[in-house]
Chains A and B, each alone.
Chain A
Amino acid sequence: RKEVEQDPGPFNVPEGATVAFNCTYSNSASQSFFWYRQDCRKEPKLLMSVYSSGNEDGRFTAQLNRASQYISLLIRDSKLSDSATYLCVVNSGSNYKLTFGKGTLLTVNP
């Protein structure tokens, strides 16, 4: 079983749509959780950290369920510029090495 599993995608949505990404992780000792965004042939960039209480940043909402070992990302009112690969990322150890999911490609269409 992979340490971090994501929806395989790809997702194709129209502008203005709401889209949700799901992710599960296998290591119950995981401590920190993130969503990164990666544009084509670019480096991953931190989108947001994910907290147990859930957190929101503009059109983006992240949720964490530790009991189910489940993480989600909701994007409301999708923009063309949201088109990218979304990476679910978990840190499980004290040295903060990151474990990545394979990513889910999102394409927002006009």
Chain B
Amino acid sequence: EAGVTQFPSHSVIEKGQTVTLRCDPISGHDNLYWYRRVMGKEIKFLLHFVKESKQDESGMPNNRFLAERTGGTYSTLKVQPAELEDSGVYFCASSQVARRGEQYFGPGTRLTVT
């Protein structure tokens, strides 16, 4: 069974540019989560989808971040315009409905804003 995949693995952009990260969850997992780890800090929750609906976006830093999950399959996270403090590793995770506490993480996208 394929795991969670994320694209791209790395992205280097300039301040003010736009970047879109993609996550493909494990097939059949209705729950999809985005997390972020900035350097020197712990991994922090950004938001949670159940199918195509946003259940909790309390961790989104500000309105420069937009997450979508059209059709309840893959998800995108867009940062527009990017700022220096957005640099970090963005992880996506998914879980089955019945076992939501155990989440499977993708390899992450390492974003560098210069």
A interface with B by C-beta (< 8 Å)? 2, 4, 31-32, 34, 42-46, 49, 87, 91, 93, 95-103
Contacts and interface: CB of A to CB of B under 8 A. Distances in A.
A42 B31 contact: no
Interface string B80-114: 00000000000101010000111111111000000
* 6 smallest beta-carbon distances between A and B, as pairs: A96-B100, A43-B105, A32-B101, A100-B43, A97-B45, A102-B42
Contacts of B45: 97-99
A63 to B, nearest CB: 18
B42 A95 contact: no
Contact of A34 (B55, B101, B108): B101
B105 A45 contact: yes
A95 B101 contact: no
27 contacts: A2-B42, A34-B101, A34-B102, A43-B91, A43-B106, A43-B107, A44-B43, A44-B105, A46-B102, A46-B103, A49-B101, A91-B101, A93-B56, A95-B48, A95-B55, A95-B100, A96-B103, A97-B33, A97-B45, A97-B59, A98-B35, A98-B43, A98-B93, A98-B103, A100-B35, A100-B43, A102-B42
Contacts of B105: 43-45
A16 B31 CA distance: 39
Contacts of B31: 96
Nearest to B105: A43
Nearest to B3: A43
B64 interface: no
Contacts of A43: 4, 91, 105-108
